[in-house]
Chain A
Amino acid sequence: MTDLLTLDDVARAYVTRKGLLGRRSTVRAVDGVSLQVKAGETLGIVGESGSGKSTMGRIALGLERPNEGAVRFDGAPMPLAGTPEWRDARRRMQMVFQDPLAALDRRLPVLTQIIEPLAIHKIDTDPARAGLEALTAVGLSRDHGARFPHELSGGQRQRVVIARALMTAPDLLVCDEPVSALDVSIQAQVVNLLIDLQQRSGLGMMFISHDLRVVRQISTRVAVMYLGRIVEEGPAADVLRTPAHPYARALVSAAPAPGPRRTDRVILTGEPPNPAARPTGCAFHPRCPVAVARCRSEAPPLVPIASGRSAACHLITPFAKVAA
C-alpha cells in the first residue's frame, strides 16, 4: 500500500441554529470527499473561504470525526480523537497551523516547546542535541531557541512550529494555510523550507491554502474544492496551467500573474456560496458562466478526464483532454 492517507467518501456536517427558536440547519462543510496522499508527495488543497479545506485537514488528522466515510492512515482506520491510540498516532502525523503565535505557548522559551514532543512521546534521545538539530534544520540559531515566541518574527515563529512538528519525524504533515499570515518575502522562505524538509525526509504533505502561487510552488498534485466537494483534481502543473472545471478556470485566472494584462479573465458573478443553502444540482451552477439546464438538476460526479486528472462537470467529456 503506497497511500499514506486515504479519505474515502468522507462527509462532515455541522448543525447550526439561528437565534433561540430558529430552525436548525445542517451545514455540510465537507461533502463526500475522497482523496489520497502518498509518501513523499504534496497534495495541495485550494478553494475559497468556506469551501471546507480546513475541515478536511482536521478530518485527515483525526481531530474531527467524519459523519460519513472513513479515514485510513497507513492502511489502518483513524482512532478516535483523545484516545491513547490517537495520541500515539500523533507521532506519525503532525500539523502546521496558520497563526504560529497562537500555536505557541507564550510563557515558554521556544526550544523548550520544540523538544516537548520528545517528552510527550517518550522518545529516548538527547533532547539538547535533538533540539539544536531541529533548530538548525529550520534555519534558526541556538540563540533563537532561548527566546520567547513574542521575541521572534512571524517567519521565525512558523519555523519553530515546523521544527516542533518535525521533532517526532512524522510521515504526514498537514499544513493549514501555513503562510497566509506571513509577509510575501517570508512566505517563499517557509515554502522552500517545507520543500527542502520534504525532500530530505520523504514525508507526505497536505498543503491547504487559498494562494495558488504558493500551491503551485509546493504541490505535486492539487485538489480544487468548492462548497465541500472536490471539483477538480490532478497533477499540480496540469491543473494550474490548463484547468478544466469552470470554477478552477475562474480561480486560476483570478490569480495575479506577471506579464501583459490578461484578456481571458473569467470573472465570477453572483453570490458567494452559502454552505447552509446549497444550490441544487451542481453547487457551482448559479455562478457558472457556462451552466446548462442539466447543471441545475443533477450533481456531476467526479470522473477521470485524462490520465491522473479528474473533474466534476457535466460539460467535460470523460477522458477528453480539455472540453468546455
Chain B
Amino acid sequence: MIDIYPSTEAPARRLPQIPWFVMLAMGWIGFVLLVALLADVITPFSYTAMDLKYRLVAPFQTFSHPLGTDELGRDVLSRLIVSIRISLLIAFGATIISAVLGTTLGFLAAHFRGFVEQAVLMLADFQAALPFLILALSVLAFFGNSLPLLIGLMGLYGWERYARIARGLAISASAQGYATAITQLGARPTRVYLRHILPNIASTLIVSMTLVFPEVILLESGLSFLGLGVQPPMTSLGNMVGYGRDYITRAAWIMLAPSTVIVLTTLAVSLVGDWLRDKLDPTLG
C-alpha cells in the first residue's frame, strides 16, 4: 500500500527571499537565544563574584573583563549573559501566557456570546484602561517578589489584545463556510476552534505576539529599573540598567551594555514580526 496519507505540514516551498535586515534580526535573535541557553557554560565568572581590586574597570582594558567591571568589581560580561537569560525567560514566558490566556478568553467569548462575551470584553476594557505599571506595582507590593510571580504577572500584560483579536476573528470565521461546514459535519466546538479556526487565524496572533514581546522586555526593564522587578543578587537587563544609572557619568558601560542588548533585541523581534505579518498573509503573496 502506498502511503496516501498526506503529511500535515505544508508542502515544501521555495525558501522565500528574506531582506538583509530581517536576516540580521533573525541572526541576532538566534545569537541571543543561544547565549541564554548556554549561559552557565559561557560565563567567564560567576555573576555575583566580586573582585574589589578591579572595580570600575573600563571595557577592553583587560582580557579577563572584556566588557569591564561594575562598582563591586563584578564582571559585566558575565552579568550581561545571565541577565539575557533571565529577561528572555520572563519575556517568553509572559508572552506565551498572555497569548494562551487571551486567545482562550477570546474563543470563549466568540463561542458563547451573550453574557460570557460581555464579561470578557468588560475585563479586556478594564485591563486596557488600567495602566499596567500600576497593576504591577500593587501586585508586587502585596505579594512580594519572586521570579514565577513576576512571569505570571507579566503574563497578564497584553492579553486583552489577543482576546479582542481572537474573538473578532473567530466570530468572522464562524460566519464563513468552513467553520459552518465542519460544525455541520458534527464536530465538537473544540475541534472547530482548535483544529480549524486557530490555524486559520494563527498568523495574526503570531504577529501580535512579536509586538507584545518587545513591550514585555521593556516593561520588565522598567519594573526592574524601579527596583520592583528582578531583585538582587539576581540580575536582569532592566535591573542592570537600573543599578548602573548611579555610575552613568563615571562608568557608563555598566548600563550601556544591557541597554544595547535591549534595544537590539526588541528591534530585531519587531522587524521579524513585521516581516512575518507580510509573509503569513496569503493575500499579500
Contact = CB atoms under 8 A, between A and B. Distances in A.
Contact of B178 (A106, A120, A128): A106
B186 A88 contact: yes
B176 interface: yes
Please classify the interface of chain A as helix (H, G, I), strand (E, B), loop, or mixed, using the class held by over half of its residues: helix
Interface string A105-137: 111110110001100110000011001100000
Interface residues of B, number: 23
A91 interface: yes
A74 interface: no
B279 interface: no
Nearest to A115: B5
B23 to A, nearest CB: 27
B181 interface: yes
A105 B186 contact: no
Interface of B: 1-6, 8, 11, 176-178, 180-182, 184-188, 191, 196, 199-200
By size class, the interface of chain A is: 35 or more
A117 B184 CA distance: 10
A112 B191 CA distance: 14
A1 B151 CA distance: 64
A90 B177 contact: no
Nearest to B189: A82
A61 B177 CA distance: 16
Contacts of A128: 1, 3-5
Contact of B184 (A63, A99, A106): A63
A209 B181 CA distance: 19
A142 B2 CA distance: 10
A128 to B, nearest CB: 5
B5 A120 contact: no
A117 B186 contact: yes
A145 B4 contact: yes
Nearest to B187: A120
A188 B278 CA distance: 41
27 contacts: A63-B184, A87-B188, A89-B186, A90-B184, A94-B185, A95-B181, A99-B177, A101-B177, A102-B176, A102-B177, A102-B178, A103-B177, A104-B177, A105-B182, A105-B196, A107-B200, A112-B8, A117-B186, A120-B185, A120-B187, A128-B4, A128-B5, A131-B4, A142-B4, A145-B4, A146-B4, A146-B11
B4 A111 contact: yes
A97 B199 contact: no
Contacts of A132: 4
Contacts of B181: 95, 97, 103-104, 161
Contacts of A53: none
A221 interface: no
Nearest to B282: A106
A109 B185 contact: no
Contacts of B188: 87, 120
A159 interface: no
A177 B191 CA distance: 27
**3 pairs of A and B residues whose beta carbons are closest in the complex:** A90-B186, A102-B177, A103-B181
A95 B177 CA distance: 12
Contacts of A142: 2, 4
A245 interface: no
A90 B181 CA distance: 11
Contacts of B177: 97, 99, 101-104
B182 A116 contact: yes
Contacts of A127: 5
A109 B4 contact: no
A103 B176 CA distance: 8
Contacts of B200: 105-107
A164 B6 contact: no
Contacts of B185: 90, 94, 116-117, 120, 164
B175 to A, nearest CB: 10
Given A120-B191, A128-B5, 8 more contacts: A87-B187, A90-B184, A105-B182, A105-B200, A111-B4, A111-B5, A116-B187, A127-B5
Nearest to A87: B186
